[in-house]
Structure 1
Amino acid sequence: MSGLPLPLRKLTEHFASLPGIGKKTAQRLAFYLLDMPEEQAKSFADSILEAKKAIHNCKVCQNFTDKEICDICASPDRTDKIICVVEDPKDVQAFERLQEYKGQYHVLHGLISPLDGVGPEHIKIKELLQRLQTTEVDEVIMATNPTIEGEATAMYISRLLKPLQIRVSRLAFGIPVGGELEYADNVTLNKALENRMTM
């Protein structure tokens, strides 16, 4: 990036720091932004600052919202009896795209990862436990990713919930629909075998 003026280099570096953005894409975005009319660029910058100021965690489920309680928690069409525990707000959006799940969510904002210095106290587990003491819940669905950290977090929370006598379930993982067995890795194949269902 040598040869670029310092402000353009800084802008490119900011874009490159975003997840999934490489150096070439970052540079393209920076140049695109410079080609924008000033009013449009100002509107873009203002929307970033506005989102940073206005968005916070829902006091019930910890999902992002600009209100005290998010629209999902406030909806009379959702049941309080089932809570789906996810890693971050993007996971809520994935479930909402299905338009099938009618329960509530709880967003952890991370996973337990001792190697990265992230313990149970760094994510929203305490808030989940407080919520379960004030709400009558039949089932908690652990919907963390099937990674080492996701599995460890799901196991940790399920152990904490055992004394509360709430049913704890885990999302089934395995062969995707349309997938072929010969291309499945060992972990996926093993999970598919473990999660088999009676027909």
Structure 2
Amino acid sequence: MSKVSPLVDSLIEAFQCLPGVGPKSAQRMVLHLLERNKNAGLILANTLSQALENVDKCINCRIFTEATVCQICSNEKRNKHQICVVETVSDVFAIEQSNQFNGNYFILHGHLSPIDDIGPEELALEKLFSRARRNETEEIILATNSTLEGETTSHYIYDNLKDNANLKITKLARGVPLGGELEYVDRGTIMHAFSGRQDLNMDK
């Protein structure tokens, strides 16, 4: 604590809620805004306030949006027959930047983790299963991270959808490194992972 200004101390503490931001980094950011860039600080505060008040999850794919249905889901040029299942919104950003996929998404906002009390309900998996069973859905692409939790989540989804004879279930090719998170994978690797995806059969 600075022992100079309670408000500055509170702001430094508030910045530490961001991932990877410790006391020193938070202090540096706050002092920069106060010393050199107050206008940017005001824009940041206003934009953050508006986003927290107005942004929610799309009723279809659960991406963050101000609208009831997001721009991706409402885009008639997207392939409505494919749903790519990812763990985070960051994964969607990474895939979109690769220009390799033109279908729709479903964001889990996590993965199955009993130790953290994260089960199917927390991931809204029934909503996914309902979408997958609609006649318009032809393929589910499992793009969860190549971690133990990601693989466990993929298995659970597969087990609940495998009896649908009209539904193709695929998984990204192993261009994504074991233990890797999709948001940190480069564009070329994501392109390879999508183009090389394979039909999934976890019962073998």
Question: What is the TM-score normalised by the length of structure 2?
Answer: 0.79
State the Cα distance separating 1:131 from its structure 2 match.
1.4
Structure 1: segments with no counterpart, 5+ residues: 177-194
**Which residue of structure 2 aligns with residue 103 of structure 1?**
103
State the Cα distance separating 1:65 from its structure 2 match.
1.1
For residues 1-199 of structure 1, the aligned pairs below 5 Å read 1-36=1-36, 38-165=38-165, 166-174=167-175
CA distance in 2, matches of 1:93, 1:35: 33
Alpha-carbon distance change, 175 to 67 in structure 1, aligned in 2, over 3 angstroms: closer
Q: What secondary structure sits across from 1:134 in the alignment?
A: coil
Structure 2: segments with no counterpart, 5+ residues: 178-195, 199-204
CA distance in 2, matches of 1:32, 1:6: 17
State the Cα distance separating 1:82 from its structure 2 match.
1.1
CA distance in 1, matches of 2:144, 2:170: 11
State the Cα distance separating 1:95 from its structure 2 match.
0.3
State the Cα distance separating 1:12 from its structure 2 match.
1.3
Aligned residues of 2:131 and 2:137 also touching (Cα < 8 A): no
CA distance in 1, matches of 2:172, 2:35: 46
Structure with greater helix percent: 1
The superposition leaves residues 125-152 of structure 1 with CA deviations (integer Å, 9 ceiling, x where unpaired) of 1111121233422211111111111111
Aligned length, in residue pairs: 178
CA distance in 2, matches of 1:135, 1:56: 27
**Which residue of structure 2 aligns with residue 185 of structure 1?**
none
Aligned residues of 1:82 and 1:104 also touching (Cα < 8 A): yes
Aligned residues of 2:62 and 2:107 also touching (Cα < 8 A): yes
Report which of the two structures shows the higher radius of gyration computed on alpha carbons: 1
Alpha-carbon distance change, 81 to 56 in structure 1, aligned in 2, over 3 angstroms: same
Equivalent position amino acid for 1:112 in 2: L
CA distance in 1, matches of 2:173, 2:10: 44
CA distance in 2, matches of 1:131, 1:172: 24
RMSD: 2.1
Equivalent position amino acid for 1:153 in 2: T
Aligned residues of 2:12 and 2:27 also touching (Cα < 8 A): yes
Q: What secondary structure sits across from 1:30 in the alignment?
A: helix
State the Cα distance separating 1:88 from its structure 2 match.
1.4
Aligned residues of 1:83 and 1:103 also touching (Cα < 8 A): yes
More displaced stretch, 45-54 vs 134-143:
134-143
Aligned residues of 1:109 and 1:124 also touching (Cα < 8 A): no
The superposition leaves residues 83-135 of structure 1 with CA deviations (integer Å, 9 ceiling, x where unpaired) of 10001111111000011211111111111111111111111211111212334
Question: What is the TM-score normalised by the length of structure 1?
Answer: 0.81
